[in-house]
Amino acid sequence: MCETCGCPGAKKVDVNKVILAANEAQARINRRHIEAMGAVAINLISSPGSGKTTLLEKTIDMLDGVMKIGVIEGDIETERDAERIRTKGIPAIQLTTSGACHLDAPLVHRGLHELEEQLDGAHLDIIFIENVGNLVCPAAFNLGEHERAVLLSVPEGSDKPAKYPTVFLNSQVFLVTKTDLLPYFPDFSQEEAKKEALRLNPHLKIISLSAVTGLGMDDWMMYLQRIRRKNII
């Protein structure tokens, strides 16, 4: 695990505070940068394999001709997720952390500049930041996003909000993904997952969806359009 998120083996707490304070300052700069681009940003956080990239692909298809999208992909290694997004004709920047378990604001700042270079003057409506697959470390790092979405897929189990409270406490929307697999995971309780999440964060918006069948995707589209309207410059 990385040294900046308070994991075992991390440096002294005061060093972590300095790191987080510097990150917060950069995040405020990022927010102004994103708004200067005319866009709103959504930070997607989840465990690996929860369906973030698949959700983005379906979202791109459904918003074609409605909103202009840019994507910043975060992974420890490889450009595979960014390559998937680029096949949709969407500008995508891959940020590799070389071992760190999260994106931070300085790294995203670099990604914003690279994204602008790809745009060549064109504007965006939404920038999706797909964070490194992890429910712990990314929760501590503001990237300058307008809203934070936490994803939990059906195969992961409905106890995750209770086990990883910080990310649910610090998010604005909770997406229950891969609901098409519910018949194969009878132990997954949407009621439990939602109850635990709302206990932590009563203001959390919850959407259950499947990017494969399309169930719940209209609710996700309505959410994105509302966020765009609320934050439009």
Query: What is the pLDDT at residue 122?
Result: 84
Of 36, 1, 43, nearest in space to 142 by CA: 43
Q: Are 98 and 77 in contact (CB under 8 A)?
A: yes
Query: What is the pLDDT at residue 8?
Result: 55
The rounded distance, in Å, linking the Cα atoms of 82 and 88 is: 10
Query: What is the pLDDT at residue 6?
Result: 54
Around Cβ 47, how many Cβ atoms within 10 Å?
Answer: 18
The rounded distance, in Å, linking the Cα atoms of 20 and 14 is: 10
Q: In what order do the strands lie in the sheet with 40-45?
A: 92-96, 69-75, 126-130, 40-45, 147-153, 173-177, 205-208
pLDDT per residue as tens, the chain (233 positions): 455 555 555 555 678 889 899 999 999 999 999 999 999 999 999 999 999 999 999 999 999 999 999 999 999 999 999 999 999 999 999 999 988 999 999 999 999 999 999 998 789 999 999 999 999 999 999 999 999 999 999 999 999 999 999 999 999 999 999 999 999 999 999 999 999 999 999 999 999 999 999 999 999 999 999 999 988 75
